[in-house]
Structure 1
Amino acid sequence: MKKQPHPYLPTEDRRRAIAEAARALIVEKGFEGLRTREIADRVGINVATLHYHVPTKEALIELLAQSMLDEFTAQHMSNPRDGLSPLEQLKLEFSEFRDTAINNPNLLHAMIELKRRSEYDDKVARYINPMSAGWRCHFATILEAGIADGTFRSDIDVNAAALIIVGTLALLAGRRQPLDETVYGQVTGELVRSIQACPSNNPG
């Protein structure tokens, strides 16, 4: 549905609206359904104005990736980590991911769709792969800290474990049905127990 135009909308707000419209289209129709005219219609602008902000398909992908990164970063910054143990940090990551899956599922669904596309589209991979690699590295850093303080098993392969965690979360959030919070809690609980040094003595 075409929105009424907003000729005086600030540039950053306009770009945010373009990113949100593109994200919704990816979720609804897949990457192949991403059409500039439909994006423009949803934002309430003409195609020429859209091309002023994102002159190429690659520029649109870059805008999408940056908008998603900004939202993930804002969520991360809203929950300070200072003073948290590695186990508490890991549980906070699981809690934040659950909140996003419930309250902003399009963000995760679009990210997952773009990640799939990146497997055979170099232009998408250029912007999406660094984001997914950074997510894995973040979990690996938490795991390394937990090994160092004795919370997590000393024999963990941190890169493999981080990949397992990321893959599991993506699988749980990748379905179009609402997140099953009970299943999510059970699965993330098992992930925690599988890496703890002494689960029975360290309930966290």
Structure 2
Amino acid sequence: MRDQKQFYLRKGQRRAMIAEAAQTLILERGYAALRTRDVAARVGINISTLHFHVPTKAAMIALVAEATRDSFLALLPPTPDPSRPARAQLRAEAQAYHDSLRDRPELVACHTQLRQIAATEPELTDMLDTFAQGWCQRYVEVLAIGRAQGVFRADLVPQPAALAITGALTAFGPRGPDGLAMFWPVFDEIERGFLATQINEGELR
């Protein structure tokens, strides 16, 4: 049993190395130039070992997508919680995305590449759409919490409001770490439209 656990640990580590190598090569050369033998060489394994972990190029791209998704998820704040101030939670969601653009630009660049690849890979499209919907749903929940707390407008509809804010913020993705100067002014302007009239604009978020 001990040996089996060690095997699966090594397997997980190897798959992570493959995902990282493939992601790097996609960013360096583009998906069209990605070759499994180049990924194997970057990891330091033979092609047979690579195919044991990812039997096809499509499986390797799916692994890259999973790794990219998991890296984004690891950066998110705690799950929305009705017992915590909604305005602080909304800013924490935006802060996490802002910081990923600033500190992990390779994740956004890889996600952009994956979106282009997904045009011919339906399973990849489903994975990326599920992730995007889950991310937007976090905003939906925070906005609903804020409405219940009286922080956001009583007539606020969380779903379209969440789409408005995530759509605006994702526009900063292609700009890179140096293109974030307007990120918080955009966030503040959108948030202002969500606030209940009795909320003091000078409140601590």
Q: Is the 8 A contact 1:40 1:46 kept in 2?
A: yes
CA shift, 1:68, in A, is 2.2
1:132 aligns with 2:132: yes
CA change 1:35–1:76 in 2 (3 A) is same
The corresponding residue for 2:88 is 88
1:151 equivalent in alignment to 2:151: yes
Counterpart residue number, 1:190: 189
Question: Which residue is equivalent to 1:108?
Answer: 108
8 Å contact from structure 1 (residues 139, 162) kept in 2: yes
Amino acid at match of 1:43: V
Question: Structure 1 residue 63: deviation in Å?
Answer: 1.6
- The residue type paired with residue 182 of structure 2 is V
1:53 aligns with 2:39: no
Give the number of equivalent residue pairs. Answer: 194
- Runs (4 or more) in structure 1 with deviation over 6 Å come to none
Inter-CA distance 193–199: structure 2 relative to 1 (3 Å threshold): farther
Tell me the distance in 2 between the aligned counterparts of 1:200 and 1:86.
13
Distance in 1 (CA, whole Å) between partners of 2:17 and 2:26 is 14
The residue identity in structure 1 corresponding to 2:38 is: E
* TM-score normalised to structure 2 length: 0.81
Q: Deviations over 1:33-92 (max 9, x none)?
A: 332122222222222221111112332233223212322332236x57665311111101
Residue 24 of structure 2 corresponds to which residue in structure 1?
24
For residues 199 and 12 of structure 1, what CA distance do their matches in structure 2 show? 52
1:148-181, CA deviations, whole angstroms, 9 ceiling, x for partnerless residues? 1111122333222222222222210223x42434
* Percentage of identical aligned residues: 35
The reply on whether 1:71 has 2:66 as its aligned counterpart is no
Cα shift at 1:200: 6.2
Please state whether the residue corresponding to 1:45 is helix, strand or coil.
coil
Coordinate RMSD, CA, aligned: 2.4
Amino acid at match of 2:23: R
Aligned counterparts of 1:157 and 1:120: Cα–Cα separation in 2: 34
